[in-house]
């Protein structure tokens, strides 16, 4: 475990590089926390306050912080509610925090009531502002506009007359035709007759009516529609019943399943796992923090042919040490990297992984790393930081040995 003074030294020397690591460290000892809680850099304190693994006692240390951003991040990071008196103190300190507290989904309703805060906005969508009738001239102007986005919005406008809807169904713009194809009054046959396409990688504007409808029959029509756009749109709908969520969880379109996970906490753990393993997007790791994602039992993936699945075994708190040790010898480098910092690894294995370029960074975070090695890494980093080189400098991340460096050619 890195000592507090060494941690403070690293943060002082490399503040911008370590901010994300401060927020997402798996645990904070009191010594480590004490070393940074009063750091002069607001960014450091804000990153620390956002951590979700701080104890309540540690969080309370931020109540007197002079910066609003630190106090706001304190509210963002708190998984468990703070004591009632702490919320009252924050409201007294800065009135802007009142709204942040009132809208926190972590705040129990009874505590919100005792604090006399406005209730959190309901999950019901805001009622549509009553729209004035669209006269013929206005409708023709929108549907016949040279601006593609005017026609796009007209295609979704429920006030548009049927003949103009039919005209837009053959619009030269594929975006406009797609929007027409998702209108609520169309039958499946009418949708199929429109020349629209939705590719797996396409990002589309969801049909608002499908995403918000509380009508069970409309919801069912969308879920069972052959139109991928409607199925993606209804996946946003917060009022979907469990049986329709289960249907969309088996949808052949990846985006439907991903949107379902992003908008519903009641999807199955297997649905979330599948979306993660099949995902190619940059933010897919957020799925591993989904409320439905079950970590216990991930040890079953130790022999999965997909190395991405084997990487998840270390998230299982019940995975035995011998299994983690075995995975540290996995033929795939990403698996070895995933387990390199796990506290269930033996100290000798951690030191061995520290010598592997691909696993060195994770191994350096291991609680079993001797302080003498931590000191050596810090000294080496400081030396490299100040080193002057001729020509174009190159930086190789990891713990490389000289004979492992690629040739300049």
As a whole number of angstroms, the distance between CA 141 and CA 134 comes to 11
pLDDT (0 to 100) of residue 156: 92
pLDDT (0 to 100) of residue 127: 38
Query: What's the pTM value of the predicted model, to 2 decimals?
Result: 0.67
pLDDT (0 to 100) of residue 384: 53
pLDDT (0 to 100) of residue 23: 87
pLDDT (0 to 100) of residue 282: 73
Within 10 angstroms of residue 64's Cβ, the number of other Cβ atoms is: 9
pLDDT (0 to 100) of residue 389: 55
pLDDT (0 to 100) of residue 300: 98
Longest C-alpha distance within the chain, in Å? Answer: 80
pLDDT (0 to 100) of residue 106: 67
Residues of the chain predicted below pLDDT 70: 103-106, 117-132, 379-409
As a whole number of angstroms, the distance between CA 18 and CA 385 comes to 15
Torsion of CA 376, 382, 384, 390, to 10 degrees: -150
The residue written with tokens 């919320």 in the block is 87
CA torsion sign, 197 to 198 to 203 to 204?
Answer: positive
């Amino acid at each position: 475990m890195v000592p507090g003074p060494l941690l403070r030294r690293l943060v002082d020397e490399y503040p911008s590089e370590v901010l994300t690591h401060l927020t997402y460290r798996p645990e904070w000892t009191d010594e480590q926390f004490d070393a940074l809680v009063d750091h002069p850099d607001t960014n450091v304190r804000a990153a620390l306050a956002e951590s979700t693994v701080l104890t309540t006692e540690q969080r309370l240390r931020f109540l007197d912080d002079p910066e609003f951003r630190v106090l706001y991040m304190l509210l963002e990071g708190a998984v468990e509610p703070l004591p009632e008196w702490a919320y009252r103190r924050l409201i007294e300190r800065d009135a802007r925090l009142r709204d942040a507290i009132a809208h926190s989904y972590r705040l129990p309703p009874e505590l919100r009531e005792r604090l006399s805060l406005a209730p959190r906005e309901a999950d019901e969508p805001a009622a549509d502002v009553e729209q004035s009738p669209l006269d013929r001239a206005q409708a023709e102007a929108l549907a016949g506009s040279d601006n593609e986005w005017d026609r796009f919005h007209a295609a979704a406008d429920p006030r548009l007359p049927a003949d103009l809807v039919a005209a837009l169904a053959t619009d030269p713009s594929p975006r406009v035709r797609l929007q027409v194809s998702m209108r609520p009054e169309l039958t499946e046959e009418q949708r199929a007759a429109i020349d629209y396409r939705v590719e797996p990688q396409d990002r589309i504007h969801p049909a608002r009516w499908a995403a918000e409808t509380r009508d069970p029959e409309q919801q069912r029509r969308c879920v069972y529609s052959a139109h991928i756009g409607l199925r993606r749109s209804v996946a946003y709908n917060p009022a979907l019943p469990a049986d329709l969520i289960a249907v969309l969880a088996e949808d052949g379109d990846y985006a439907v399943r991903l949107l379902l996970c992003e908008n519903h906490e009641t999807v199955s753990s297997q649905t979330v796992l599948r979306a993660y393993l099949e995902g190619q997007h940059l933010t897919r790791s957020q799925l591993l923090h989904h409320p439905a994602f079950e970590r216990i039992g991930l040890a079953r993936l130790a022999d999965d042919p997909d190395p991405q699945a084997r990487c998840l075994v270390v998230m299982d708190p019940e995975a035995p040490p011998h299994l983690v040790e075995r995975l540290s010898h996995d033929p795939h480098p990403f698996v070895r990297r995933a387990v390199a910092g796990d506290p269930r690894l033996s100290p000798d294995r951690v030191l061995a992984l520290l010598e592997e370029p691909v696993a060195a960074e994770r191994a350096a975070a291991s609680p079993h790393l001797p302080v003498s090695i931590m000191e050596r890494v810090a000294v080496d980093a400081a030396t490299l930081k100040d080193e002057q080189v001729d020509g174009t400098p190159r930086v190789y991340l990891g713990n490389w040995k000289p004979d492992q460096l690629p040739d300049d050619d």
